[in-house]
Amino acid sequence: MAHFPEELRHAPAGLPPRVIPSVGRTEGWAEMKTLGALTFAIVPALLLIVAHLDYSYSFRGAALTMLALFVIALCGVISLVWFAIRKAPWARTLATISIGSLVLYFAVALPMLRWQRAQTRERGDRIIRAISAFQSDRGHIPDELTALVPRYVDSVPETAMGLFRTVPFSYSREGRADYRLLFPAPGWLMCQGGPDTNWYCDD
């Protein structure tokens, strides 16, 4: 005697078995598609992180990064609304990718940027202390940061900004006793500090 699944044994008479859905299988397939969409969300999130932390130091780079964020957010909102109205599977997938990539971007890029700035300020303070020691010994500030090596520092520290690029400090003298130490930050910002000035950033 043939054995049939439970849903087929209780199917209404005359209804072809092939049109009876398997609820568990459908839900499992939807979960797999959602996980797949979240996996694809990693790619645009990584591109946004690299663009923000490595290429948004100029006006052009910052503008392109903001444009990419706006386009992805707009795609997420439109596809989410479309899915709510039409229940289109592609809209759900696109919304998951867009919103997932934005969540990953903000969850990674912003804490990393705070850490980079904190590390850079600490390294800048080391340079400022070395310049103060140089000035105490010689009566004036150095012409270049390399003059601090090797007596005051083993090597001139670089900033912690950037992922795949090196971002050095800039040294701006203002007479024989005053100076500013500067470094660029993502978002077309310039941060600066000095012996009598706390670190701050502006555009």
Give tens-digit pLDDT for 134-172. Answer: 999 999 999 999 999 999 999 999 999 988 888 999 999
Question: Can the peptide bond before residue 150 be classed as cis, meaning omega within 30 degrees of 0?
Answer: yes
Farthest CA pair distance, the chain: 104
Judged on CB neighbours under 10 Å (0-12, 13-18, 19+), 106 is: middle
Mean pLDDT over residues 64-87, rounded?
Answer: 93
Separation between Cα atoms, residue 92 and residue 181, nearest integer Å: 49
- Find the range with the poorest average confidence among 14-28, 73-87, 146-160, 182-196: 14-28
pLDDT at 66: 93
Give tens-digit pLDDT for 95-131. Answer: 999 999 999 999 999 999 999 999 999 999 999 999 9
List b or e across 164-186, with b for residues whose CB sees 16 or more CB atoms inside 10 angstroms.
eeebebebeeeeeeebebbbbbb
Token pair recorded at residue 107 = 């969850």
Q: What is the Cα 129 distance to its own chain's centre?
A: 32
Separation between Cα atoms, residue 184 and residue 201, nearest integer Å: 9
**What is the pTM (predicted TM-score) of this model?**
0.75
